[in-house]
Amino acid sequence: MYIPAHFAQKDPAVLLEVMQQETFATLVSTVDGAPFATHLPVLARQDGETTRIEGHFARANPHWKALEKDPVALVIFHGPHSYISPTLYTTLERVPTWNYVAVHATGRVTLDHGRDAKLGMLSRLVAHHEPTYQAQFDAIAGGTVDGLLQAIVAFDIEVDRLEGKFKLGQHRLAGDKPEMRSWLEQGGEDQRALAGWMKRLGYWDEASG
């Protein structure tokens, strides 16, 4: 993705944090020579020096078959985002814009049709999103579970490239955006999340032009 230097975020720990918070991602590669995207829940983790992403496709989805032939994929993690009004700046020569956080992870996909691999992946997804559901899942009849597992294909991605873009107004002088802080902090979930990143990364007091 296009990343001006002042918007680049290169700290692997920060990028992994976004990936672990924003678990509904977009996986992109090619199918029959054309771009193809699947929207799906994933889990990202650090495995030694390697970042890994796991999840599953519906077996009916042709995406996984294409990845057998060409296993390189891009996973896009969409962080908080918001419209930014030019009225939030003191300088009149401003125009509307959009601030956002995004992380791109590129790597090689390994598919797994094994029952144990799929069960383990599903258990980790449940543990992340609704751990109390695990007992109910365990009580489902074995034949039903086997049918459900047959309907999915598990995948694991070994990430070899991470890119982060944090467009948070850090290229504007602190004195030009005093209203932005209070507006974001009093806004909705995305606005408050953007305010949190701006504060954490020190962009409230950014003085670069």
State the Cα–Cα distance between residues 159 and 157, nearest whole angstrom. Answer: 6
| pLDDT, tens only, 101-118 | 999 999 999 999 999 999
| pLDDT, tens only, 163-200 | 999 999 887 766 777 788 889 999 999 999 999 999 99
Q: Which of 107, 80, 83, 82 is nearest to 163 (CA)?
A: 107
State the Cα–Cα distance between residues 179 and 204, nearest whole angstrom. Answer: 11
pLDDT above 70 (res 207):
no
Predicted confidence at residue 209, as pLDDT, reads 34
Question: In 174-194, which positions are buried (b, 16+ CB within 10 angstroms) versus exposed (e)?
Answer: eeebeebbebbeeeeebbebb
Overall fold of domain 5-113+154-203: Pnp Oxidase; Chain A (2.30.110)
| pLDDT, tens only, 140-170 | 888 999 999 999 999 999 999 999 999 998 8
Structure tokens at 105: 């992870």
pLDDT above 90 (res 127):
yes
Cβ atoms < 10 Å from Cβ of 72: 13
Pairing assessment for the beta strands 34-41 and 97-112 based on DSSP bridges: unpaired
Among 52-66, 88-102, 114-128, the least confident range: 88-102
- Domain residue ranges in the chain: 5-113+154-203
pLDDT above 80 (res 25):
yes
